[in-house]
Amino acid sequence: MCRLFGMSAAPHRVHATFWLLDAEDSLAEQSRRMPDGTGLGSFSADGTPLLEKQPIAAYEDRQFALEARERESRTFVAHVRYATTGGTVLANTHPFEQNGRLFAHNGVIEDLPLLEAELGDYRTLVHGDTDSERFFALITRHIDEQGGDVGAGIAAAVGWVADRLRILSLNFVLVTAEELWAFRYPDTHDLMVLQRRSGGPSGSRHLEHASAAGTVRARSGDLSSRPAVVVATERMDEDPDWESLASGELLHVGPRHEVSRTMIAEHEPRHRLTLDDLTGRAKAAQAPSAP
C-alpha cells in the first residue's frame, strides 16, 4: 500500500527533515519489497512548489530515498509509491504538481478512458500514465469551475468519480503553499490525522514521526514550540490524539491553522472495488498489510 504523509505548520515556515526510506540494514527494509517511487513536495518562501522525486529502479535511486532532506515550508507532502497503474518512471512518481498545488494519492481508480474524456482540455496537465494524476486533473478542472474554491472543486470531482467509475480508494493529500486538504473515501484504507499541540503530549518535545512500515520518517525541532497538523496512512508515534478520518470526510487546514472537517461523500461509491477485484501486482500493492 502506498504511504501518504502530509503536514501543515501554517502560518509558520518550519524546518523539517525527511527520510523516504529507512536505512538499508533496518528490519523494516528486510521485510518489504522495494517501492516503485518516492517523492517529497514543499514550497519556497515565495510560494513556488518544490518537487523532489525519483522512481526506484537502481541503486542510485534507492540512495535518493535514503538521504536526509531538510526543507523549510509551511506545508509538506511525501509519498512512497507501490505501483498499480503506470510504469516505474519519473512521470508516474508522486507527488504531482498542477497550477501551484501538489497532490499525492493512495488507491485505485478504473475506467480511465471515461475519466480522460471528462478532462477535456485539462488532459494537457497529465504527463504520465497513472489514475492518480488524471484524478488530480479532474480536481483541478472542478476547482477552476468553482472559481478557485479548492474544497468545492474537490467535492465536485469526488462526486463525479464516485457516481461513475470503479474505485478502490480515493485517499489523497493536496497542499498549497499555505493550506492542506486530506480526504478519505471509502473506508478501504485508513487515513489518520493528528492535531499536534506545541511540543506534543509533553508540551516540549520536537516532532519525531516514523512509519511502522519503514517508510516516511520526519523530524522537526521547530515543532517543539509550535503546533502542526499531520496526516498519514498510519499512526506514526504514541501520541494519543491520532484519529482516523471518516469515510467521505475532507480535512482542511487553513493558512492561520484553522482546522475544519466536512463530510462531502456520504454514500457508498456506486461501483466499489474490493481487493478481490484486483489481480497481480495491483492487488499486492493495495493490500493493507503490504509494505
- In the chain, what are the domains? 3-286 (3.60.20.10)
Residues 44, 45, 48, 52: what is their CA dihedral angle, to the nearest 10 degrees?
0
Side chain identity at residue 94, one-letter code: H
Contact 28, 22 (CB under 8 A): yes
Q: Distance between CA 198 and CA 200 in Å, rounded?
A: 6
Cell of 233: 496512512
Query: Smallest Cα–Cα separation from 164: which of 135, 203, 124, 207?
Result: 135
Supply the pLDDT for residue 65: 86
Cell of 258: 484553522
Query: Smallest Cα–Cα separation from 103: which of 51, 58, 27?
Result: 51
Q: What is the mean pLDDT of residues 133-162?
A: 98
Supply the pLDDT for residue 27: 41
**This model's pTM is above 0.85:** yes
Could you report the per-residue pLDDT of 3-17, keeping only the tens digit for each?
999 999 999 999 999
Supply the pLDDT for residue 270: 92
Could you report the per-residue pLDDT of 57-98, keeping only the tens digit for each?
777 788 888 899 999 999 999 999 887 778 888 899 999 999
